[in-house]
Amino acid sequence: MVARYHKLIDDLREAFWFIPALMLLGGVALSFAMVQFDHASEIPERLQESAWIFRGGPAGARAVLGAIASSTIAVVGTVFSITIAALSLASGQMGPRLLQNFTRDRGNQLTLGVFIGTFVYALMVLRTVRSPSEGQFIPHVALSLAILLAFVCVATLVWFVAHMAERINVDTVIDLVSDDIDAAIERIDAEPAAAPSDTFWSDAEPVVQARGGYLQHIDEGGLADWAAEHGTRIRLLNGPGSFVSPNAPIALIKPKVDGAADAIEDATALGTKRRGDDLRLSIAQLVEVAVRALSAGINDPHTAIGVLDRLGSALCELVGKELPSGVSLRDGKPVLVVPKMDYDQLVDVMLQTIRQNASSQPSVQRKILQVLATVASCERDHQRIAALQRHADLVIADAHRASIAPCDLEELERERARFSAVVDQGAYALIRPTAG
Digit-coded pLDDT (tens) for 16-39: 889 999 999 999 999 999 999 888
The residue out of 229, 247, 271 marking a domain boundary is: 271
Q: How far apart are CA 188 and CA 312, in angstroms?
A: 18
Q: Between 41 and 374, name the one with better pLDDT.
A: 374
For residues 31 and 160, state if they share a domain. yes
Higher pLDDT, 331 or 3: 331
Domain identity same for 290 and 264:
no
151-160, 173-182, 225-234: which range is least confident on average?
Answer: 173-182
Position 45, amino acid? E
User: Does residue 48 sit in the same domain as residue 131?
Assistant: yes
Length of the chain, in residues: 436
Q: Which of residues 392 and 177 earns the better pLDDT score? A: 392
298 and 255 assigned to the same domain: no
309 assigned to some structural domain:
yes
Q: Does some domain include residue 12?
A: yes
Q: What percent of the chain has pLDDT over 70?
A: 92
Counting beta carbons within 10 angstroms of the beta carbon of residue 399, is it exposed (0 to 12), middle (13 to 18) or buried (19 or more)? buried
Work out the pLDDT band at 435, boundaries 50, 70, 90.
very low
Q: Is residue 175 part of a domain?
A: no
Average pLDDT value for residue range 127-132: 88
Q: Does the structure show a pLDDT above 50 at 193?
A: yes
DSSP H or E segment with residue 271: strand 268-271
- Contact status, residue 204 vs residue 250, Cβ threshold 8 Å: no
Confidence of residue 298 (pLDDT cuts 50, 70, 90): confident
- The pLDDT tens digits for 362-387 are 999 999 999 999 999 998 899 999 99
Q: Please indicate, yes or no, whether residues 283 and 266 belong to a single structural domain of this protein.
A: no
Query: How many structural domains are present in the chain?
Result: 3
163 and 91: one domain?
Answer: yes
Residue 57 resides in a domain: yes
Q: Is 334 helix (H, G, I), strand (E, B) or coil?
A: strand
Residue 330 within a domain: no
Instruction: Work out the pLDDT band at 43, boundaries 50, 70, 90.
Output: low
Instruction: Residue 232: give its domain's CATH number.
Output: 3.90.1170.30
| 334 falls within a domain | no
Same structural domain, 205 and 75? no
Reported as a single tens digit per residue, the pLDDT across 60-100 is 889 999 999 999 999 988 888 888 877 777 777 777 766 77
pLDDT digits (tens, 9 = 90+) for 318-358: 998 888 888 998 888 899 999 988 899 999 999 999 999 99
On whether both 43 and 156 belong to a single domain, the answer is: yes
Q: CA of 245: how far to CAs of 18, 252, 278, in Å? A: 31, 15, 21
Does residue 419 carry a pLDDT above 70?
Answer: yes
Q: Do both 265 and 157 map to the same domain? A: no
Mean per-residue pLDDT over the chain, rounded: 87
Same domain, 292 and 250: no
Q: Look at residue 233 and tell me if it is in a domain.
A: yes
Same domain, 203 and 317: no
Parent domain of 258: 198-271
pLDDT at 261 over 60: yes
Indicate whether 265 and 406 sit together in one domain. no
- Which of 271, 296, 315 lies at the terminal end of a domain, its last residue? 271
pLDDT at 62: 92
pTM to 2 decimal places: 0.80
173, part of any domain: no
Question: Which residues does 38 contact at the CB level (< 8 Å), separation at least 6?
Answer: 137, 139, 140, 141, 142
Closest CA to 128 of 114, 143, 111, 148: 143
